[in-house]
Homo-oligomer: A and B are copies of this chain.
Amino acid sequence: MTNNPTAQSGNYVGVDLSTQALRVALVANDGEVVERRETVLERDDVARQAASMIQELRDRAPSIKAIGVGIPGLVNPQTHEVVISSGMPSAAQGNLQAELSNLTGLPVALENDANAAAYGEYVTGAGRGSRNMFYVTLGQGIGGAIILGGKLWLGASGFAGEFGHITIDPDGAECACGNTGCLETVASAPNIVRRTHERLFRDGTSSLSKLSMNRDFTAADIAREARNGDDFALLMIERTGRYIGTAVASVINLLNIERIVLGGGVMEAGALILDAIIREAGRRSFQPCFEATQIVAAQLGTDAVAIGAAMLARDAAIVTG
């Protein structure tokens, strides 16, 4: 017997490769983070860097059963190889799964970062208690994932949940994907900054004007100034919420889904943006669908990808088709 309750059922390791950082978490069988490590990601040898961090955790918790890795790319659910990864090209060239498994002697499951975060929120975050959930992450880009009957629904080629490329304005701005008026052209963090710059340049009086004399401001700055009562920043946050709410309404109408969980850096604006999203989604969705949906903020913050990746290594919870 042991005093560590997690040792009885084993631990998992979740690895988050979704940003510039390499995050590794020791995750108990119930999804609780026992310990976390973070360092700057060295893109040349991701597998070796992750393996060495995992070894440190292992010295403290020997009973690790498997490793889950969330990456900014698409993973082939049959072969577990990285198919497309705009954020992390070196991983797509090698076979990250095989390398990491060889280095650690443990089973390794790779998954798209948005899918992993969705599953993390589902198991132990804002999705708890639901069986069917749509997850949105709003940050440098916009991603989404669908959980149906407790499992990730990946679709025919693994891309289900492409929330960022929903058209919200047919005559809107050009998107890198080739469409015009995708949600991502207005509501990703860089595009919130772009819109704010454009409007400030034209007719803005805002605390952001002063800030922009010293350095480029970020979406986090806009959110903070909005919370501090700056009318201009508040307008930008509310309008962003309206754009997101328009796309959320399409999800509600199509899926009549029990819960929608919104995460990512853009949601750090808190109730200011969440309320605007809910208001617009309510205006734009079919009422019986809207009334059946809870729209809530994510709860796991920067732990979501690592926790979800670890729990995906625990569960066979992926459906394609």
List residues of chain A with CB under 8 Å of any chain B CB: 74, 84, 131-132, 144, 146, 148-149, 153-163, 165-170, 177-179, 246, 249-251, 253-258, 283-289, 291-293, 319, 321
Contact = CB atoms under 8 A, between A and B. Distances in A.
Contacts of A74: 288
A133 to B, nearest CB: 10
Instruction: Determine how many copies of this chain the complex contains.
Output: 2
A132 B148 CA distance: 14
Given A148-B153, A246-B167, A321-B131, A256 B160 contact: yes
Contact of A159 (B144, B292, B319): B292
12 contacts: A132-B156, A148-B148, A148-B153, A155-B257, A156-B256, A159-B292, A160-B257, A166-B249, A169-B170, A177-B287, A178-B283, A258-B321
Nearest to A289: B159
B253 A163 contact: yes
B162 A256 contact: yes
A289 to B, nearest CB: 5
Kindly list the 10 A-B residue pairs having the minimum CB-CB distance in the complex, ordered from nearest: A155-B256, A156-B292, A160-B256, A162-B253, A157-B292, A159-B256, A156-B258, A165-B286, A162-B286, A179-B284
A230 B253 CA distance: 36
A257 B258 CA distance: 20
Given A132-B321, A155-B292, A166 B253 contact: yes
A162 B291 CA distance: 14
